Chain A
Amino acid sequence: MAAVTLTNVVKRFGSFEVVHGANIDIADGEFVVFVGPSGCGKSTLLRMIAGLEDISGGDIAIGGKVMNDVEAADRGIAMVFQSYALYPHMTVEQNLSFGLRMNGNPKADTDRRVKRAAEILRIDELMQRRPKQLSGGQRQRVAIGRAIVREPQVFLFDEPLSNLDAELRVQMRVEISRLHKELGVTMIYVTHDQTEAMTLADRIVVLKAGNVEQIGAPLDLYDDPANRFVAGFIGSPKMNFLSAKVVDTSNSAAIIELVNHGGARLRKPLRDAFPAIGAEIVLGVRPEHFFEAGEGDCDIPVKADVAEHLGSVSYVYANSGPEELIVEREASRQRASGDHFTVSIKAERSLLFDKAGARIR
């Protein structure tokens, strides 16, 4: 059981800086997901926590102890690799017990730990097989089993589900969630898939190009993103971003005009900051926050371009000019390409960003 604390963590490869001073506090027993687009430094952060990469600056502490110069094996962590990294020439049982056997762990204890891991992951019947003879999902279980056997204080997962097909991914996601409840230990999980992040995490760390953009509970990030990047990254389909211009500010609100939608106007109450009149800004509206005509504060007539019917919901790609909107509609199976309809935006169900992407509240 251990908390993990990253203080101003920097990583450079040569002179190329890929992590620019990350500060992340992970509580004991918490499930934290690092999410961000490919190449943003998620794996690098995780590998620094694991001790597989040197730390160029700052401190990483596990269980209150600074680990910068501690050997990977002594950090009390276990890691599940994206490619599983199973020992190809060993049976599942040997894979699980290898580390313990190499360290002279008493056989009875090794057997007990291996048996327990096999039970937790339901891989008892596979113990004598080799990795080659396992399916992707089974390999994944063995890789997790090998981590469990170490009885670590912190589990690290690097995109563990990205090599699995969609159905298996959902299934394993549930299993990992269950595992976290069962073991109650700290887990740090890296993914580029925001759905995985939303479904698994107690808290999400959103990363972009080596910077921490926002840390928060999944629904907090969804409801209250700190900037346009987080707003766009969290949620599927993506949030719509509508170009707008401030035409007036009065009574702790801004009147904005949607420049690509026939000059439709919206009164957006603000709390902290008031953009200058004439400033170009961006209004963010999630697909599920377009209401029926007249229900909101600002109506926009649009024309359906393409409609995707998923059964429970439909996504209509619609436009009224150069800006395409994704509109979620429940049970609107009859909506077809070419239809004209009106969507309505509610001020409290939309977000305002300045030109640079920072949130205006």
Chain B
Amino acid sequence: MRTQNATAYRFLTPYLLIFAIFWIWPIISSFIISFQATRTVPWRFAPAFNWGRLIGDPAFYNALKNTLLILVIQVPVMIALAIVMAVLLNSPLLKARGLYRFAFFAPVVVGEVAYSAVFRLMFSLDFGIVNKLLDSIGLPKVDWFSNVTPAMALIMIAVTWRWAGYNAIIILAGLQSIPEDVYEAATLDRVSRVKQFFHITLPLLKPVIVFCAVLSIIGTMQLFTEPFLITERGGPGGGTETLGLLLYRQGFRSLNFGYASAVAYTMAGLAITITLVQLWLMREPK
């Protein structure tokens, strides 16, 4: 038994080494760095330097506020949308199901840069199809990139577009695991389709929905691509700057690794806290 284990570990060594160097060490290292002043040579230990700055930094609070705002609005809207999409995908009336499934999943596969460029085009003030559509139904054009509120809305729309289908596919798998005869029993019990949805489908989907919500929360806490590429580095004027963007700005533009590490740990801590609260709220009774 013992020697068997030893042999196994010898085979695992290459992987474990790589794992230790490129995963474990950065995690430990950035934790240490977050307690160091990194703009001096050599770096020195100064616990209050980064964490103290974080507590009083308006840029941090701005990024935190933006991130949480996106989280609170975008995640529930997207999950609700994903549930609707999954139910439609699961409908026996739907033709060409495979095609829709592929179409819903495709945004995840599309390159981030390409998709961001297309979004910028679609939402551009004068040439964008979105403003043309708004115009054609008599609504005023929206300057999506110069005002904070539309810019935030744009970020949320983009993120929702990219991830709603992905979540819908996961929820679809959950839907398909609910046996048909449960619904037949409910039909015999004179329970309408709508009530079946709210009293049977939703409760049975709860674990899947919680899973999707946790994934989305973690993803949104790290949100970077869309505010970086679509609203041009958190524009207008930091109005869409997220924690992920702040981290990037501090770490890789100002080369302030200590402060960036502190931000990174804050993001991770928040994601874990929110997820735990979420799991606790949605726990199974008993």
The 8 A CB mask of A71-90 against B (1 = contact, 0 = none) is 01110011101010111110
Whether the Cβ atoms of A103 and B188 lie closer than 8 Å is: no
Whether the Cβ atoms of B189 and A150 lie closer than 8 Å is: yes
**How far is B184's CA from A83's CA once the two chains are assembled, in angstroms?**
12
Q: Decide: A102 near B190, CB < 8 A? Known: A87-B200, A88-B204, A89-B204.
A: yes
Whether the Cβ atoms of B189 and A81 lie closer than 8 Å is: no
Q: Decide: A83 near B181, CB < 8 A? Known: A72-B187, A150-B189.
A: yes
Nearest A residue to B200, CB-CB = A87
Q: Let me know if B157 is at the binding interface, CB within 8 A.
A: no
**How far is B203's CA from A85's CA once the two chains are assembled, in angstroms?**
16
**How far is B179's CA from A74's CA once the two chains are assembled, in angstroms?**
23
Tally chain A residues at the interface, Cβ within 8 Å: 22
Closest Cβ–Cβ distance, residue B183 to chain A (whole Å): 9
What are 19 sample pairs from A and B whose C-beta atoms fall under 8 A apart? A50-B188, A52-B188, A73-B190, A74-B190, A77-B188, A79-B185, A81-B181, A83-B179, A83-B181, A85-B182, A86-B185, A87-B182, A87-B186, A88-B182, A89-B204, A98-B199, A99-B189, A102-B190, A102-B195
Closest Cβ–Cβ distance, residue B201 to chain A (whole Å): 10
Query: Hey, which chain B residues are within 8 Å of A113, CB to CB?
Result: none
Q: B188 contacts which of A79, A86, A88 (Cβ < 8 Å)? A: A79
Whether the Cβ atoms of A103 and B204 lie closer than 8 Å is: no
**How far is B199's CA from A89's CA once the two chains are assembled, in angstroms?**
9
Residues of chain B having any CB pair with chain A under 8 Å:
179, 181-182, 184-191, 195, 199-200, 203-204, 206
Q: Let me know if A146 is at the binding interface, CB within 8 A.
A: yes
Closest Cβ–Cβ distance, residue B84 to chain A (whole Å): 21
Chain A stretch 82-134: residues in CB contact (< 8 A) with chain B: 83, 85-89, 98-99, 102-103
Whether the Cβ atoms of A85 and B204 lie closer than 8 Å is: no
Whether the Cβ atoms of B184 and A52 lie closer than 8 Å is: yes
Residues of chain A having any CB pair with chain B under 8 Å:
50-52, 72-74, 77-79, 81, 83, 85-89, 98-99, 102-103, 146, 150
**How far is B206's CA from A179's CA once the two chains are assembled, in angstroms?**
37
**How far is B183's CA from A79's CA once the two chains are assembled, in angstroms?**
13
Whether the Cβ atoms of B199 and A81 lie closer than 8 Å is: no
Whether the Cβ atoms of A52 and B195 lie closer than 8 Å is: no
Closest Cβ–Cβ distance, residue A239 to chain B (whole Å): 36
Q: Decide: A102 near B199, CB < 8 A? Known: A85-B181, A87-B182.
A: yes
Q: A85 contacts which of B184, B195, B199 (Cβ < 8 Å)? A: B184
Query: Hey, which chain B residues are within 8 Å of A98, CB to CB?
Result: 186, 189, 191, 199
Closest Cβ–Cβ distance, residue A69 to chain B (whole Å): 15
Whether the Cβ atoms of B190 and A99 lie closer than 8 Å is: yes
Query: Hey, which chain A residues are within 8 Å of B203, CB to CB?
Result: 89
Whether the Cβ atoms of A81 and B187 lie closer than 8 Å is: no
**How far is B189's CA from A81's CA once the two chains are assembled, in angstroms?**
13
Nearest A residue to B204, CB-CB = A89
Given contacts A74-B190, A89-B204, 14 further A-B contacts (CB under 8 A): A52-B188, A77-B188, A78-B188, A79-B184, A85-B179, A85-B182, A85-B184, A86-B185, A87-B182, A102-B190, A102-B191, A103-B189, A103-B191, A146-B185
Closest Cβ–Cβ distance, residue B52 to chain A (whole Å): 49
In the complex, which of the residues B179, B182, B189 has the most CB atoms of chain A within 10 Å of its own CB atom? Answer: B189
**How far is B19's CA from A206's CA once the two chains are assembled, in angstroms?**
67
Closest Cβ–Cβ distance, residue A220 to chain B (whole Å): 33
Closest Cβ–Cβ distance, residue A81 to chain B (whole Å): 5
Closest Cβ–Cβ distance, residue B149 to chain A (whole Å): 40
Closest Cβ–Cβ distance, residue B192 to chain A (whole Å): 8
Whether the Cβ atoms of A72 and B204 lie closer than 8 Å is: no
**How far is B181's CA from A83's CA once the two chains are assembled, in angstroms?**
8
Query: Hey, which chain A residues are within 8 Å of B195, CB to CB?
Result: 102
Query: Hey, which chain A residues are within 8 Å of B199, CB to CB?
Result: 98, 102
Q: Decide: A73 near B188, CB < 8 A? Known: A89-B203, A102-B195.
A: yes
Closest Cβ–Cβ distance, residue B199 to chain A (whole Å): 7
Query: Hey, which chain B residues are within 8 Å of A85, CB to CB?
Result: 179, 181-182, 184-185
Query: Hey, which chain A residues are within 8 Å of B191, CB to CB?
Result: 98-99, 102-103
Closest Cβ–Cβ distance, residue A278 to chain B (whole Å): 54
**How far is B183's CA from A52's CA once the two chains are assembled, in angstroms?**
11
Query: Hey, which chain A residues are within 8 Å of B204, CB to CB?
Result: 88-89
**How far is B223's CA from A54's CA once the two chains are assembled, in angstroms?**
51
**How far is B135's CA from A212's CA once the two chains are assembled, in angstroms?**
68
**How far is B184's CA from A72's CA once the two chains are assembled, in angstroms?**
9
Nearest B residue to A83, CB-CB = B181
Query: Hey, which chain B residues are within 8 Å of A79, CB to CB?
Result: 184-185, 188
Query: Hey, which chain A residues are within 8 Å of B184, CB to CB?
Result: 52, 79, 81, 85
**How far is B184's CA from A77's CA once the two chains are assembled, in angstroms?**
13
**How far is B206's CA from A89's CA once the two chains are assembled, in angstroms?**
10
**How far is B191's CA from A146's CA once the two chains are assembled, in angstroms?**
14
Q: B185 contacts which of A74, A77, A81, A89 (Cβ < 8 Å)? A: A81
Closest Cβ–Cβ distance, residue B256 to chain A (whole Å): 50
In the complex, which of the residues B182, B188, B204 has the most CB atoms of chain A within 10 Å of its own CB atom? Answer: B188
**How far is B185's CA from A72's CA once the two chains are assembled, in angstroms?**
10
Query: Hey, which chain B residues are within 8 Å of A74, CB to CB?
Result: 190
In the complex, which of the residues B181, B186, B195 has the most CB atoms of chain A within 10 Å of its own CB atom? Answer: B181
**How far is B185's CA from A51's CA once the two chains are assembled, in angstroms?**
11
**How far is B190's CA from A86's CA once the two chains are assembled, in angstroms?**
15
Nearest B residue to A78, CB-CB = B188
Query: Hey, which chain B residues are within 8 Å of A99, CB to CB?
Result: 186, 188-191
Query: Hey, which chain B residues are within 8 Å of A52, CB to CB?
Result: 184, 187-188
Query: Hey, which chain A residues are within 8 Å of B206, CB to CB?
Result: 89
Closest Cβ–Cβ distance, residue A112 to chain B (whole Å): 18
